Amino acid sequence: MAAIIRKCVLSTVLKHFNKGSAHLLKQGVQKARTQCFHSANGVRSIWQVNGLLTARAFAVPQTWSVCKLHTEVDRELTKFLDKEIELEEKSAQTKVGMPSIKDFDVTADGCDFTLKKKMGNEKISVMFNINGSADADQPVAGSQEGEDVHMVSKPPFRVEIDKGSGEILAFQCMFANTDEVEPETSGQPEDAIVDLFEIQDVTLHKGEWKESIYTMSSETMDGNLYDLLMDLLDERGINDEFINDLIEFSTAQEHDKYLEFLKNLNTFVKKD
């Protein structure tokens, strides 16, 4: 890129300076250091030869644009990103602070989040990652076509219960698709309680979990055992109230990461 700039600068300078100045620039070009300074009136002072300023400010013609390797797609992408960032920032301004999750302390490492709390001698941890977790919220009954669609983050999550004995009871959970549950077709009574999340599998292990450790899938689990394990989680605060807090928190975090990515991408595309 530096070589392109030097070549472009030399060509332009030779057109705008007298013969003596051009000769001096040719002699010193091998040791020249090139710097471009932008100003509102389109004037740049650019050349230093052997540490001495040898060129005066000059008006920059339109041909300077060839020094920037921006394509038409770059410009269109930048235009789109500017507009998208503005819209997302307006959306963020309507929110009051970052949501919290009741009773849990939160730590973050990029898109990885860990929630922790203590209950007696037990340590309860919930881990999740927000990448790929956002999806369009289900439309509300009676809503008009074309109305704004809100993105909601519902990441799968892992719950670990540590009693301090070295063993960890771990649950892999996911959000339930409650829209697919129809009481009249599922065999459930119409007033049946529908959980907002479900257990995928459960395991008991010491130290780090490994593939060699037995994991019980909910698909082959006895129904009574499944209900009791759900009650076990409920007693430790992993319930519908927690799930609603988690959705709100995760959605806000995912939106912040999305907006941050748009800004970083826009900065990258605009670079020369």
Q: What is the DSSP letter of 183?
A: H
CA angle, corner 79, sides to 261 and 87, nearest 5? 60
Q: What is the pLDDT of residue 176?
A: 86
Which residue has better confidence, 66 or 187?
187
Q: Kindly report which listed range (163-167, 236-240, 257-261) carries the lowest average pLDDT score.
A: 163-167
Residues 259 and 241: their CA atoms lie apart, in Å, by 28
- Walk me through the domains of the chain, giving residue ranges and CATH numbers: 2-67 (no CATH), 98-139+148-247 (3.10.280.10)
Which pLDDT band holds residue 243 (cuts at 50, 70, 90)? very high
pLDDT tens per residue, range 130-179 = 999 998 775 544 445 555 668 899 999 999 999 988 899 999 999 987 66
Tell me what pLDDT residue 93 has. 67
Q: Which of 87-101, 195-209, 215-229 has the lowest mean pLDDT?
A: 87-101
For the stretch 66-111, pLDDT in tens is 455 678 899 999 999 999 999 988 887 666 678 889 999 999 999 9
Number of H helices, E strands in the chain: 6, 14
Mean local confidence (pLDDT), 16-37: 41
Q: Are 200 and 219 in contact (CB under 8 A)?
A: no
Please, is 208 exposed, middle or buried when counting C-beta atoms within 10 Å of its C-beta (0-12, 13-18, 19+)? exposed
pLDDT at 16: 43
In sequence order, what are the residues at sequence separation of 6 or more whose Cβ sits closer than 8 angstroms to the Cβ of residue 116? 104, 105, 107, 123, 124, 125, 126
> Out of 109-118, 174-183, 201-210, which region has the weakest mean confidence (pLDDT)?
174-183
**Which of 6-10, 39-43, 220-224 is predicted most confidently?**
220-224
- What pLDDT shows up at residue 43? 36
Average pLDDT over the chain, rounded to whole?
76
Question: What pLDDT band is residue 192 in, cutting at 50, 70 and 90?
Answer: low
